[in-house]
Structure 1
Amino acid sequence: MGKYDYILAKSEEQCGQTLSSHLKDVAEVAVRIAQYLHLDVETARLGALLHDVGKASPHFQKTLQKGYTRRPGEVFRHEIASLFFISLVEESKRDAVIEMIAAHHKSAYKDGLELGIIDMDDTDDCFAIHSKDFDKWSSIVTGLLEEMGMTIHPVSLEEAKENYDYALDYCCNAIRRCCYSAWRGLLMAADHYASALNEKVGANIDKLFINPDLKFYERQSELYPLSSIDTKDRRPHTIVTAPTGAGKTDFLVRRCRGRLFYTLPFQASINAMYERFRKDLSGTDAQIYLLHSASTLKVEDGNLEESILQRHIGASIKVLTPHQMASIAFGIKGYEAMILDLKGQDVILDEIHTYSGATQAIVLKIIEVLANIGCRIHVGTATMPTLLYNRIKNLLGGDKNVYEVSLPDDTLGTFNRHIINKVESFASCTSIIDEAIRENQKILIVCNQVQRSQNLYCELKERYPMVKGMLLHSRFKRGDRNELETRLKEEFNTIAEACIVVSTQVVEVSLDISFDLMITECAPIDAMIQRFGRINRKRTKETIGRYKPVYVLAPLADKDALPYDEDVLKHSYEVLPDGEVMRETEVQQMIDTVYPDTHFMDIDYSGTIFIDGRWTLSKLCHRDKAAFLGLLDIQSATCVTESDVETYKHGTHKEASLCEIPCSYHSIAHRNLERIDKRQHPFVVPNMAYTEDMGLLMDNISPVNYNSFEII
């Protein structure tokens, strides 16, 4: 037991960790990060040891007591109080330490709650508030720091005021510069890592920043033509254009030299890629993380540390969506830490053609930022409009910086595998389904809207009660969704009997399934080609030259066309062959016919923090996440059912995650639902608005359908 172990860093309701233990843990991680980034190790250590010492104030310690309720208007920012001791750091390191301490929770200026150091100095006697009873606790801080190996001297109230004034002046000058602070990012990364692992940092720190051994992907096969193409070109960036099944993933990975960030557009696809990496590299020491809300559900052995590590710095391979990388373009809290994690590493942007609208514009901005911070960027696509291709190539520096790879026409011809048939409506497909069932075929039906997929699934379930069936879309509880994806790949994909899977766009990318027949609503041509890749996907010597049928329904109009543009659907339908083989050599022409003047959404790039090659956000500041979420109608809200409320409020992180149902904020925010003021602040939906086989039923979401009057 240490002399100061009665001083806590966290409340007993959290974990009751001592301040001494927390500071040591953060310092250990900060030193490891600094070593990796070639930053001054001693500065990192000192900043980490000092960053939370203001918590020693009795006015902060009382807030950690069980049952404590903060009085209205009561504010104590422990990081401001920590700045009172910066004179314990040698002068040459002092400014960097201020950057580590002053804004590691709040923006220094124009914080959303006006709790930044500059905000508070403008409105109150900030120093007086935070130095209250300083003579009673300053010696605790210096004693604690001495225990941890720092050279100290007593700090008087007058010296504390000088330190505060110096730090405030430094922050006021810092925000006049537009750039990111590597020191702030380092401290935030170290603090988050240590806080999540509590006292288990030592056992896990050696897992940080391990370059993955990627020799596995050097395998060659005549079935995968990209496997025989050399990847040793010295240009840093890559663009590969090849059909599904050509070995694109292996080729992109072989182009990587450092740690790897692998992005894909959908949860289902990143889940599948995460599992693939874990399987392929199971015999190595590579640390593979999945950055997603559902990542804890993918840790099969129940290892708590591994679940926690998914969210933090230092992975060998991190699998994520571009939305989870968007903080580097929008300056969302923690963006500096993500920049440090990414800087100089390999980033694979796979299936980049699947992005549209605002997402496509954001991906282009992310590419611009990644190139600026020295990342090696590798783009993979099966289909991309020429104008988009050229835009990306230019962002990466053109011919001198980009290694371009595509397959010759004779090789592309071996990837012809679908006969496309245009049909007016789903009703005209009844006999086709009947025949496929008699022949024990696996049928995949894809809708563009969740509600239509639900309605169709019900109809088919009633018509074919003896046929194995499944519905898959984005609005399932995370636990149910995880189970459905596993069943799709391991059960439905392998059975010899007939089955019907109804899905939405979530099956388009990287789900390794190979069905016999598809019926799909018309989608943009690039998205449809991706969908077709789930049919006759398995490539063997025997399957080359054999074709399986795809039936494309005539495009819908008005609101039924959403989430796609009606004109794009019409043009996509027009360019498809009818009753003929879909030829890979003609795909590019089809794409460019549909998108002759690919227009990038008129996005307000002033909302981003990197414009015309310059950073535009004030140093030591960040922006509200809502600004980014407001730009995209992504699955930005979370729901839980009435029956899951108690589990969500009081269960473990994993138990709560299992309950969460992702949905669009715009589809649910106006329904006057109760919300839980914890974790993701989910909306509470009635029990009758969810079933395990149908998912979230939007028509039943209304407060009048609650079983209980008292939800929260």
Structure 2
Amino acid sequence: MSGAESTIPAYMKYWGKAKKEPDGEGADYHLLPYHCLDVAAVADVWLKASPSLLKKITGQLGVETEIARQFMLFFILLHDLGKFDTRFQHFRADIHQSLQGGDWWFEEDPSYYSHGSCGYKQFCEEFEPNAAMKAVAGHHGFVDVSFDYYEPEADDELIELDVQARKEWVQFCLDFCQLDEIPKIGEVPLLAGLCSVSDWIGSSITNFTIDQSLDLTDYYQRALPRAAEALKDSGMIESIQGSGFGFLFPEYHPRGIQCLLADLPLDAGLTIVEADTGAGKTEFALAYASSLIQAGLADGIVFGLPTQATANGLFDRIGSAANILFPDAQATLAHGKSHYLVADESGFLHQSKKRAFLGSVSVATIDQILMGVLGIKHQFVRSFGTRKSVLILDEIHSFDPYMMALIEQVLKGQHEAYSSVILLSATLPNQIKQQLLGCYQGVSESQDYPLVSHTDLSGKTNEYSLSGLNSPNTKKTVNTELWRSNDCLPDSEQLQEIYNWVQQGAMVGVICNTVADAQRLYRQVSLSCVEFPVDLFHARYTAADRVRIENQVLTNYGKNATRQGRLLISTQVVEQSLDLDFDILISQIAPIEYLMQRMGRLWRHDRDGTELCPRSDAVDKPLFITLIPTAEIKPNQGPDSLKKHYGGSGFVYQSIRWLYRTEQYLYENSELAFPDCYRSAIKYVHGLEPHVGEPKALTQLSEAFELKGEGSHYTARQISAMQSKPLNDVDPRCALLTREGEMSVSVVLFNKKGGLWHGGNFAEQADRERSLISLAPKHAKGKKCAEYYCYIAVIGEDIQYNEMGFIREDLSEELKVGR
């Protein structure tokens, strides 16, 4: 070895990035120290451009801001420590030989060398275990700590060079960050995501530098401008242009709960907003979130909703607000079929669902957010996106115990990261509210309604109501009726009443609790040859058909519809967040909070003296009709009989006592005054003590239901804490982990000629998913395709699919729908 070579630090003899194929343009590889500096430069620029991000990290560490920055850069510089290893270097033997010579022996490892997991093991052996090091070592998805680490089968000289390079690189990083020793800081919730995303951006600015003599500090200074430009181009660093209700909605005056915005503290914390449907909760949340961002407490907004339909509807609604807040940013949408709705997927934020959370304004289905607390590769990128933002979850009352347990894990993660959450609901039972506030150590004591509860990071809770506030709070009265029928579907006389209303120009909706019941009713009405339009909407359509039908429903029943008499038969997909406006609604029985959500689609907009199409005079007040069984529950009725009493509705909602009490409440209240009735109705149905005269068997069933819920809650917590090898984040089974029960199966539909039902190339994911439906395994037919985790089914041979969507085999025979 020459004298010149001996002065080169050991770590300068390792490559970090290499071109897949030599292109004759410049160097074919990038030295590892330069790559690490590229990534650190991205993180450095990001932390300086985002005071809120650095403030959160500083709060977590309990140190001064500059020290927090130094700690983060130190560990990010070590993210590829495992590449200082002969096994990684030999992935490109030609480069390995040019950097370290060829006069040595090395036996290739038959197993794939993971530089992330091995890098963490090397750090632990050569220094000591460190949670922050584990976070950065897992930047490619996760760190596997379950295997036994061993040195490479190679000459001692090579092994010694690897060890020397790693130790020298760690010392350089300490000196570079002006640290005396390796920080012992424990887990930092935001570090893994910051490192992983910085690695993506840092890799994109690779300038393939092989000069081993460059001064690393000079190189870093030259990398900073490239990092800043790349971050700006990514769309992740945007400045908010203003905040508050007046800035976002200058043409409107605050009403109801919106008048409370000025009283809320500009402190990170958990905010629960309880207000009736149509009260402007979404606008409230946007305005408050923008104020928190302006105050330097967050970088962006992430909206989470229960379903694709609600996410799609909100995405359209908040687009203009997003443009006002962040004119240079593009809002992102993340759910299983979101790429059909966002035309441009070329940008960094649109290239995967996990990246969608990294922008300034994102809308997602709840499953995409819950993946941030599950054993899925790159789950920390999703959680990083929500934790650097204000997370807003709508319809928070609508989740079962399993999903609620995962939501609690999300909230606890937000709390640990010094981040804010806003939860929205019209009908939140008190016990669930207390459970949610407990994630921030808060407690609610007020029974006012509407109500805004805010718990700060220390657990202090303040509550704000409209009592004593001179603010207009719109009231609405809904007339209610109970219709009895054998199967909780309208009988012939009741159907004729519905037909009469529609023929008088009324916009009427019928909401069923199961797809099968919706299809039964639609088939019956269709065979009646009515002379008015009838629509069917549920979740068991292909992705392409569902988007098309959803848009038609919004056009035909939304705020600006022409209102010429129309009937919509649907499932629960219409009860949340969709801006629909019916004159009359008929619904199968459900727990009172779900019925009240559906009532929110009644007389949603004031049409008197406005430019909107007027209402039919078929009814002069909002009318909501609940379908219940013909038979009444008897005091001595046994539990087995009670389980079957409400048919499919009992199967869907599980708690027979909730359904029974809802029926009793509606029997006693033929007129509901909103918003005053919310608290009393929820308390009546969800009270823990048995009611006087209530069948004893209901208490038995309720106790069994509560026990099952506790089990689901525990299962979700256990799954969230699992440390086993995670699923790949593009595996379609990931989203299924966010829901309890039997995993559904993806079925791709083909026509009899062998083409995709909606056309395209089966090998292309976007084309494949346009023709995809999710079914229970017992309904999945056709040929199994292991490569794409799906079944291939031919319509008319394997399964039945038509304008009513997918039809079960037994239902197809019942409805006499031939193949």
**Larger-gyration structure (1/2):** 2
- 2:571 maps to a residue whose letter is T
Quick one: distance in 2 between partners of 1:31 and 1:276? Answer: 35
Q: Of the candidates 226, 235, 238, which is equivalent to residue 207 of structure 1?
A: 235
- The structure 2 residue matched to 1:156, chosen from 155, 158, 173, is 158
Task: Name the counterpart of 1:253.
Answer: 286
Match of 1:538 among 596, 600, 605: 605
Q: Could you say which residue in structure 1 is the equivalent of 2:111?
A: 75
Shift of 1:367: 2.5
Q: Is the 8 A contact 1:524 1:568 kept in 2?
A: yes
SS at match of 2:525: helix
Q: Is the 8 A contact 2:746 2:791 kept in 1?
A: yes
> Are residues 366 and 416 of structure 1, via their aligned partners in 2, closer, same or farther at CA, if it must alter by over 3 Å?
same
How far 1:515 moved relative to its partner? 1.6
- Note the alpha carbon deviations across 1:645-700, whole angstroms, 9 max, x for none: 6977655443333233234xxx2268565333345x22223323354522222328
User: 2:403–2:716: 8 Å Cα contact kept in structure 1?
Assistant: no
SS of residue in 1 equivalent to 2:323: coil
Find the counterpart in structure 2 of residue 602 from structure 1: 710
Counterpart residue number, 2:626: 552
Report what 1:457 is aligned to: 522
Q: CA deviation at 1:333?
A: 2.9
1:223/1:179 CA distance change after superposition, 3 Å: closer
Residue of 651, 656, 665 corresponding to 1:562: 651
Contact kept, 8 Å, 1:238 with 1:404, in 2: the verdict is: no
Query: 1:552 Cα deviation (Å)?
Result: 0.8
Judged with a 3 Å threshold, the aligned counterparts in structure 2 of structure 1 residues 207 and 525 are, in CA distance, closer, same or farther, namely: same
Q: Is the 8 A contact 1:84 1:160 kept in 2?
A: no
**Residue 413 (structure 1) shift:** 7.8
CA gap of 1:198–1:673, structure 2 versus 1, over 3 A, is farther
Once residues 18 and 454 of structure 1 are traced to their aligned partners in structure 2, the CA distance between those partners, rounded to angstroms, is 61
- Alignment correspondent of 1:574: 664
Give the structure 2 partner of residue 507 of structure 1. Answer: 574
The structure-2 alpha-carbon separation of the partners of 1:368 and 1:454, relative to structure 1 and needing over 3 Å to count, comes to same
Q: TM-score, normalised by structure 2?
A: 0.66
Q: Give the TM-score of the pair, scaled to structure 1.
A: 0.75
Gaps of 5+ in 2: 1-14, 55-68, 95-108, 170-181, 208-226, 293-297, 445-458, 630-644, 690-705, 813-819
When residues 440 and 48 of structure 1 are mapped into structure 2, their CA distance, relative to the original with a 3 A threshold, is: same
Greater shift, 390-399 or 490-499, is seen at: 390-399
Maintained 8 Å contact 2:390/2:422: yes
Query: CA offset at residue 269 of structure 1?
Result: 0.7
Say if 1:223 and 1:436 are closer, same or farther in 2 by CA, change over 3 A: farther
Specify the alignment match of 2:143 in structure 1. Answer: 107
The alpha-carbon deviation at position 402 of structure 1 amounts to 3.5
Aligned counterpart, 1:474: 539
1:26/1:49 contact within 8 Å kept:
no
Paired with 2:807 and 2:511, the residues of 1 have a C-alpha distance of 18
In 1, the alpha carbon distance for the partners of 2:382 and 2:331 equals: 16
User: Residue 174 of structure 2 aligns with which residue?
Assistant: none
1:627 to 1:582, Cα distance in 2 relative to 1, 3 A: closer
Residues 367-406 of structure 1: per-residue CA shift (max 9 Å, x gap): 2332232222222211122222233334332366344344
1:233 aligns with 2:264: yes
Partner of 2:369: 325
How far apart are 1:79 and its partner, in Å?
Answer: 2.1
Correspondent of 2:383 among 339, 349, 373:
339
Asked if 1 retains the 8 angstrom alpha-carbon contact of 2:79 and 2:139, the reply is no
Partner of 1:314: 358
Pairing partner for 1:57 from 87, 90, 95: 90
- Correspondence for 2:809 among 699, 702, 709: 699
Question: Cα distance, 1:642 vs. partner?
Answer: 2.9
Paired residues for 1:410-449 under 5 Å: 414-425=474-485, 426-427=490-491, 428-449=493-514
- Stretch of structure 1 that moved more, 51-60 or 688-697: 51-60
Does the aligned pair in 2 maintain the 1:639–1:662 contact within 8 Å? Answer: yes
| 1:156 alignment partner, SS class | helix
For residues 645-684 of structure 1, the aligned pairs below 5 Å read: 650-663=762-775, 667-668=776-777, 671=780, 673-679=782-788, 681-684=789-792
What is the rounded CA distance, in whole Å, between the counterparts of 2:205 and 2:197 in structure 1?
A: 12
Please tell me whether residue 127 in structure 1 is matched to residue 152 in structure 2. Answer: yes
Residue 439 of structure 1: how far off its partner (Å): 1.0
Query: Structure 1 residues 99, 568: closer, same or farther in 2, change over 3 A?
Result: closer
Helix, strand or coil: the match of 1:440? coil
Match of 2:220 in 1: none
The one of 528, 551, 554 equivalent to 1:489 is 554
Relative to 1, partners in 2 of residues 1:591 and 1:476: Cα closer, same or farther, differing over 3 Å?
same
Q: Deviations over 1:90-126 (max 9, x none)?
A: 999999667533673443224xxxxxxx25x3xxx66
Partner amino acid for 1:576? L
Letter in 1 for 2:483: V
Q: Structure 1: any 5+ residue segments left out of the alignment?
A: 62-72, 111-117, 136-154, 168-173, 703-712
Q: 1:222 to 1:630 in 2, by over 3 A?
A: closer
Q: Which has the higher contact order (CA 8 A, sep 6+)?
A: 1
Shift of 1:244: 1.0
The DSSP-based 3-state class of the residue aligned with 2:302 is strand
Q: In structure 1, the residue corresponding to 2:540 is in which secondary structure?
A: coil
CA RMSD of aligned residues (A): 4.8
- In the alignment, the residues of structure 1 paired with residue 666 and residue 514 of structure 2 have an alpha-carbon distance, to the nearest angstrom, of 22
Give aligned pairs, total. Answer: 635
Deviation of 1:588 after TM superposition, in Å, equals 1.4
Aligned 8 A contact 2:756 2:768 in 1: no
Distance 1:60 1:579, change over 3 A: farther
Instruction: Please name the residue that 1:291 is paired with.
Output: 334
**Alpha-carbon distance, 1:30 to partner:** 4.8
TM superposition shift of 1:298: 1.8
Match of 1:255, SS state, is helix
1:401 matched to 2:460? The reply is yes
Q: Secondary structure at the match of 2:678?
A: helix
Per the alignment, do residues 165 and 602 of structure 1 end up closer, same or farther by CA in structure 2, a change over 3 Å counting? farther
The one of 385, 395, 402 aligned to 1:358? 402
Q: Are 1:648 and 1:659, in contact at CA under 8 Å, matched by a contact in 2?
A: no
The amino acid across from 1:217 in the alignment is L
Query: Per the alignment, in what secondary structure is the counterpart of residue 186 of structure 1?
Result: helix
Match status 1:632 vs 2:706: no
Q: What is the deviation of 1:26?
A: 6.2
Q: What amino acid is the match of 1:693?
A: E
Q: Which amino acid aligns with 1:442?
A: M
CA distance in 1, matches of 2:419, 2:551: 33
Q: Which moved more, 1:334-343 or 1:273-282?
A: 334-343
Q: 1:31 to 1:460 in 2, by over 3 A?
A: farther
CA contact (8 A) 1:420 1:579 kept: yes
Q: Which moved more, 1:330-339 or 1:436-445?
A: 330-339
Alignment of 1:383-398 (within 5 A): 383-396=427-440, 397-398=442-443
Q: Would the alpha carbon gap of residues 516 and 226 (structure 1) be closer, same or farther in structure 2, given more than 3 Å must change? A: same
**1:406–1:271: structure 2 CA closer, same or farther, 3 Å change rule?**
farther
1:274 to 315, 320, 328: 315
Q: 1:498 to 1:108 in 2, by over 3 A?
A: same
8 Å CA contact retained: 2:585, 2:624: yes
Counterpart amino acid of residue 276 in structure 1: R
* Superposed displacement of residue 422, structure 1: 0.5
What residue in structure 1 maps to residue 219 of structure 2? none
* Contact preservation (8 Å) 2:536, 2:804: yes
Q: Per the alignment, in what secondary structure is the counterpart of residue 580 of structure 2?
A: coil
